[in-house]
Structure 1
Amino acid sequence: MDLLNLFLVHTKLSVNDMIRLSGIPKSSVHRMIASLADMGLLHKDQDGQYELGLLFLQFGNLVAERLDIRHVAAAEMQRLRDEIGEAVHLAVRDGDSSMYIEKLDTDHPVRLFTKIGRRAPLYAGASSRILLAFMPEEEREEYLSEVELKPIGPGTIVSLAKLRETLAASRESGCSFSISELENYTAELCAPIFDHTGRMAAGLSIAGPEGRFGEDWRPELIRKVKQAAHEISLKLGYGGPPCGQ
């Protein structure tokens, strides 16, 4: 896994690259590469460099197909994107990070570049923070007691007191809003999705350039995102009231 994890940030690597980056002894790296290539997890190209094998595509498609929430949310995501004209994302928690598992892009010529699989720490950005806000309290407190708040964008919250205040406000209002927390001049608005047990399942967000999320029309955007998130929750068997009410 140490070798495979290198390919999360590198498209191709030579054997020497993997030895240098992993710190694993040369003989062990050679042995493991041979095994990974035999299993189809790594592929050697004509230049002698390695990349992830096609087996990952097969596994990736299976994981995507089995994430039922993507299929349940598809219609509401489409409706929301068509109504407001901004990119719509579906995010889930993965450890101490959030990750986009689905995205519908906007037709705007000026847009925010995001992609499925993008990760962010749970304290940064609206999608991440809504997941943190609605985590079970014990898990949330454990995370907050250990996390190191580092600036990512100019708007990243790096004060623990402010983060706690913002999380409480998100739980009360049923939404989270961020400006320039991960990238400059960008904004994101997110609402939680709950499953049949009442636990948070995902976050539904819209994102784009900051200028299109002004205070004049932000309340209407909030209403529409929360409504869409609630509709998805109902389809997952959630029986509670709309979040924030």
Structure 2
Amino acid sequence: MARNEVVVKSMNILKLFEQHEALSLNDIVNLTGSPKTSVMRMIRSLEDMEFISKRADKKYCLGLSFLHFGQLVAERLDIRRIALPYMIELRDEVDEAVALVVPHGDEAMYVEKVDTSQMVRVYTRVGRRAPYYAGACPRILLAFMEPSRREAYIESVQMVKMAAGTITDKAVLRQVLEESRKNGYSMSFSELETGAAAIAAPIFNHQGTVVGGLSILATDYRIREYQEQGGDLANRVKQKANQVSKELGWMPRD
């Protein structure tokens, strides 16, 4: 079926706001490469539907319709609804932020987060995307992905250094993934953000397919300090992830 070009071009405009908080008309024209008159028509239509709005400085930003539809999507995403109470429990137990990611094409997307009361915390916004190879929570999805798909991803992905500890060697990545499958969890230090650490466990559905990842997010030094004091964050996050999996119909095998 042929794509509707107007819809595609309108979506291309909206996608610009994933990376930019606000854009002028000329910014949008330059970034899309579309004629100014065409961009102006699409902007007017998007404004009428409240998908974008014009600020006092004459720049455009995302409109209230996204807030409305985004809330509907979040409310109807079963894994999020099921996981949230367990995330709150885990946050209260360890006093660290807890995040939930799901697969989104060739990336992981953060769809829920509960914050900590700690003064110094790791910043991760809902809606953020990250490559599967970087960070404990995205990588746990890759570790338990169907083997042929996992290998195809590793072969094709260009591993970019995002922070001080990002893994960029595919042989090292394969070894880390094997350890994650063996242990049932993944750990990361300074992979997506320098100074940030995470411990993550997989969430499975009734078919045994990995559909999400649950992680504890904290500063590098707090994770290391907790572990040195005999704390077992890995088992805590695995337990909560298993509880979410069971509510999704997963039956653990011996």
Under TM normalisation by the shorter chain, which class is it? Answer: over 0.9
Alignment partners' CA distance in 2, 1:85 and 1:46: 40
Aligned length: 242
Shift of 1:102: 0.8
Structure 2 partner of 1:234: 246
Shift of 1:114: 1.7
Structure 2 partner of 1:81: 91
Alignment partners' CA distance in 1, 2:203 and 2:19: 30
Q: Could you tell me which amino acid in structure 2 is paired with residue 60 of structure 1?
A: G
Shift of 1:84: 1.0
Alignment partners' CA distance in 1, 2:80 and 2:30: 39
Instruction: Find the partner of 1:197 among 207, 231, 236.
Output: 207
Structure 1 partner of 2:232: 220
Correspondence 1:90-101 to 2 at 5 A: 90-101=100-111
Instruction: Find the partner of 1:119 among 110, 129, 135.
Output: 129
Q: Could you tell me which amino acid in structure 1 is paired with residue 204 of structure 2?
A: F
Aligned to 2:197, the other structure's residue is in SS state: strand
Matched, 1:33 2:52: no
TM-score when normalising by structure 2: 0.91
Judging changes above 3 Å, is the alpha-carbon distance between structure 1 residues 110 and 140 closer, same or farther for their aligned structure 2 residues?
same
Q: Percent identity?
A: 49
Structure 2 partner of 1:55: 65
CA displacement 1:82-104 (0-9 Å, x = unmatched): 11111111111111111111111
Alignment partners' CA distance in 2, 1:26 and 1:65: 38
Aligned to 1:34, the other structure's residue is in SS state: helix
Aligned to 2:228, the other structure's residue is in SS state: coil
- Taking only aligned residues, the RMSD between alpha carbons, in angstroms, comes to 1.5
CA displacement 1:66-85 (0-9 Å, x = unmatched): 11111111221111111111
Alignment partners' CA distance in 1, 2:41 and 2:107: 32
Alignment partners' CA distance in 2, 1:106 and 1:72: 20
Q: Could you tell me which amino acid in structure 2 is paired with residue 228 of structure 1?
A: K
Structure 1: 5+ residue stretches without partners = none
Structure 2: 5+ residue stretches without partners = 1-10
Alignment partners' CA distance in 1, 2:141 and 2:68: 29
Aligned to 2:17, the other structure's residue is in SS state: helix
TM-score when normalising by structure 1: 0.94
Shift of 1:189: 0.3
Alignment partners' CA distance in 1, 2:162 and 2:87: 28
Alignment partners' CA distance in 2, 1:104 and 1:31: 40
Judging changes above 3 Å, is the alpha-carbon distance between structure 1 residues 63 and 10 closer, same or farther for their aligned structure 2 residues?
same
Alignment partners' CA distance in 2, 1:44 and 1:218: 53
Shift of 1:12: 1.7
